Chains A and B, each alone.
Chain A
Amino acid sequence: DGGITQSPKYLFRKEGQNVTLSCEQNLNHDAMYWYRQDPGQGLRLIYYSQIVNDFQKGDIAEGYSVSREKKESFPLTVTSAQKNPTAFYLCASKASGRALTGELFFGEGSRLTVL
């Protein structure tokens, strides 16, 4: 089945540690996105990538880093510089040329808790 897989689903981290969240898609989508969601809040864009080997900062990129070495993969690293990393992280992808349909396909999310 085609889709987006995020791992891990739940992650606990000590302060000062970097963690990497995995996002893999087999939908052959060009564009991939990382969002953060806090309780009672909407989705805020962290980073996005429209094509392999290229990515742009979103609205809240500070303290995060990404890479896009393969079309299928868009991992997100939450660094120790991120002041308040506890949140629900959502990865999404969209096919290029489908701007008018706009359907974003989301992974099931990764819930990060900093202890």
Chain B
Amino acid sequence: RKEVEQDPGPFNVPEGATVAFNCTYSNSASQSFFWYRQDCRKEPKLLMSVYSSGNEDGRFTAQLNRASQYISLLIRDSKLSDSATYLCVVNSPGNTPLVFGKGTRLSVIA
């Protein structure tokens, strides 16, 4: 089983739609979780961290389910500018590098 798995998509949704991505991780000792956004041919940038209690930032909501070892990202009222690849990132204990999923591609269509 891969360390971090994501549905690659693409997810093609109309403007205004609500879309959700899931990501599963294999290491139950993982401590911190993040969503990064990567635009085409650009570097990834941190979108949001994922906290145990769940957290919201405007139209974006991230949730963590430790029992089932998955995290989710919900985007409400999708905009054209949300079109990008969303990378799930997990940090295991100790001084180990972050582990990236392969990303889920989102295309928001007018």
List residues 8-60 of chain B with CB under 8 A from any CB of chain A. Answer: 8, 31-32, 34, 36, 41-46, 49
Selecting from B64-72, B74-82, B94-102, the interface stretch reads: B94-102
Q: Please report whether the interface of chain B is mostly helix, strand, loop or mixed according to DSSP.
A: loop
What is the 8 Å Cβ interface bit string for chain A, positions 78-89, against chain B (1 contact, 0 not)? 000000000010
Q: How many residues of B contact A (CB 8 A)?
A: 22
B42 near A99 with CB under 8 A, answer no
What is the 8 Å Cβ interface bit string for chain A, positions 92-115, against chain B (1 contact, 0 not)? 000000011111101111010000
A102-B32, A103-B46, A109-B43 known; A42+B95 contact, CB < 8 A? no
A42 near B100 with CB under 8 A, answer yes
Q: How many residues of A contact B (CB 8 A)?
A: 23
Chain B residue at minimum C-beta to C-beta distance from A101: B49
Docked pose: A102 CA to B87 CA in angstroms? 13
B45 near A106 with CB under 8 A, answer yes
Chain A residue at minimum C-beta to C-beta distance from B90: A102
Residues in B with CB closer than 8 Å to A107 are: 43
Residues in B with CB closer than 8 Å to A109 are: 42-43
A48 at the interface (CB under 8 A from B): yes
What is the 8 Å Cβ interface bit string for chain B, positions 84-110, against chain A (1 contact, 0 not)? 000101010001011011110000000
Docked pose: A50 CA to B96 CA in angstroms? 9
B102 near A58 with CB under 8 A, answer no
In the complex, what's the smallest C-beta–C-beta distance from A92 to chain B, in angstroms? 8
Residues in A with CB closer than 8 Å to B34 are: 102-103
Docked pose: A71 CA to B29 CA in angstroms? 30
A90 near B43 with CB under 8 A, answer yes
A-B residue pairs, 7 tightest by C-beta? A42-B102, A106-B43, A43-B100, A103-B46, A42-B100, A102-B91, A102-B34
